[in-house]
Amino acid sequence: MLLDVKGLTIEAGGGRPILRDVALSVARGEVVGLVGESGSGKSTIARAVLRLLPQNAAARGEVLVEGADVLTMDAAALRSLRASQVAMIYQDPRSSLNPVRRIGDFLTERMVHTLGRTRKEARVRALELLAAVGMREPELRMRQYPHELSGGMLQRVVIAAALAAEPALLLADEATSALDVTTQADTLALLRAIQAERELGMLFITHDLHLAAAYCDRIYVLYAGTVVESRPAEALFADPRHPYTAGLLACTPELGDPRPIRPIPGRPPSLDDAFDGCPFAPRCAMAGTACEERRPVPVAVAGGVAACHLIEEGAPAC
C-alpha cells in the first residue's frame, strides 16, 4: 500500500482531538477522496502525511508511506520523504509562490538545492514540466512573475512543481476550489491525466461530495475528526449509509434536478465541544438514546464501512 494510515489520533491542547482513530489507505494508481465540511480535519490528515503539524500537537498511531512510518522518521528520512516521495498541491497557488521571484526561480531552486541537479538540467526539466501541464510558451512563463499569470496558470505551475521530483503520492488539498468552473474542469482533467499516466496515488481533498463521487475511485467521509463512512465512490453516491453522507448529498444542488435543497441543521462542532456519543447526533434527525450515550463503531457495509448506531441495530441509516 502506498499510503496506509492506522489509528491516527492528533491532540493539541484541551478539548476534543483534532483527529480521532483515523484509518485510510491509498494504493498506487488510485484516486481517493477525502470529504467533509470545513473544520472536519481533512487538511490535518494531509499535513500529517508530511508531518507538518502544530508544535503543540501530539500524534498517535501510524502514517505509513511505502511501509515507513512518517511519525517516527528521523530528520534525514523526513527530508527525503518531502523532497521526493510525497508532494502537496495547496488550495491557493499564490500562497505557494514568492511574489518577487520569477516562475523559473520557483521551479528550478528546489531541483538544484534538494534534488542536486545543475542549473542547466533544472531549467530544461522545468520547461518540460510546464509543457507537460499544458502551459503555452513555457520559455516566456519562466521569465514572468506570479502577478502576470492567471489563477489557472498559477495552478498549473504549482502542479508542475509538485511533479518535479517524480513523487509517488500527490496530496491535493482543495486544489481547484479557488478557480472558476471552466478552469477547475481543465485542471481536474489535467490532474487525472497525469495521475493515470504516471500511476500516482492521489489523496483528493474537497468539500464537494458530488465532485468526489465523479472524480475518485474511493471516498472517505470525515466528520469532527472521525471517518464516518468509507466506500467506493459509485456505491457511496448511489446508496449513502451514514446520515451525514446523505445530508451532504441532499444539500448540494444538481443541474437539472428540481428536488428541494435540504441543508443539514446546526453547525459542525468546534474543538471546544466535547461529547460522549456520536458527534453527529445533535444534527441528526434519526438520533436515538444510544447515539447520545456512546460512540458508534465502524460496521461493514457494501464495499466498505460506516459508523452509525442505526446500522449496528440492523436498520437502514438513511
Residues 87-97 pLDDT 10s: 999 878 888 89
* Residue 164, pLDDT score: 87
* Residue 166, pLDDT score: 87
Position 272 confidence tier, pLDDT thresholds 50, 70, 90: confident
Position 81 confidence tier, pLDDT thresholds 50, 70, 90: very high
* Residue 315, pLDDT score: 55
When pLDDT is averaged across residues 43-51 and rounded to a whole number, the result is 94
* Residue 132, pLDDT score: 87
Q: Do residues 3 and 34 touch, judged by C-beta distance below 8 A?
A: no
Sign of the CA dihedral running 138, 215, 255, 283: negative
Position 314 confidence tier, pLDDT thresholds 50, 70, 90: low
HSE-CB of 204 using CA atoms within 13 angstroms: 29
When pLDDT is averaged across residues 203-213 and rounded to a whole number, the result is 89
Range in 163-167, 184-188, 250-254, 291-295 the model is least confident about = 250-254
DSSP for 85-127, written as a single string: IEEEE-S-GGGGS-TTS-HHHHHHHHHHHTT---HHHHHHHHH
* Residue 207, pLDDT score: 87
When pLDDT is averaged across residues 223-230 and rounded to a whole number, the result is 95
Is residue 133 predicted with pLDDT exceeding 90? Answer: no
12-15 long-range contacts (CB < 8 A, ≥24 apart) are: 12/54, 12/56, 12/57, 12/58, 12/271, 13/56, 14/272, 15/270, 15/271, 15/272, 15/273, 15/274
> Which segments of the chain does DSSP mark as H helices, in order?
42-49, 75-80, 103-113, 119-132, 138-143, 151-163, 181-198, 209-215, 233-238, 243-250, 289-293, 309-312
pTM value is: 0.90
* Residue 163, pLDDT score: 87
First-to-last alpha carbon distance for the chain, in angstroms, is: 32
Q: Do residues 21 and 27 touch, judged by C-beta distance below 8 A?
A: no
Position 13 confidence tier, pLDDT thresholds 50, 70, 90: confident
Position 257 confidence tier, pLDDT thresholds 50, 70, 90: low
Range in 15-29, 173-187, 218-232 the model is least confident about = 173-187
Is residue 255 predicted with pLDDT exceeding 70? Answer: no
Element of type H or E holding 7: strand 3-12
pLDDT in tens, 170-207: 999 988 776 777 878 888 888 888 898 889 999 999 98
* Cα-to-chain-centroid distance, residue 67: 20
Cell numbers at 230, concatenated: 468509507
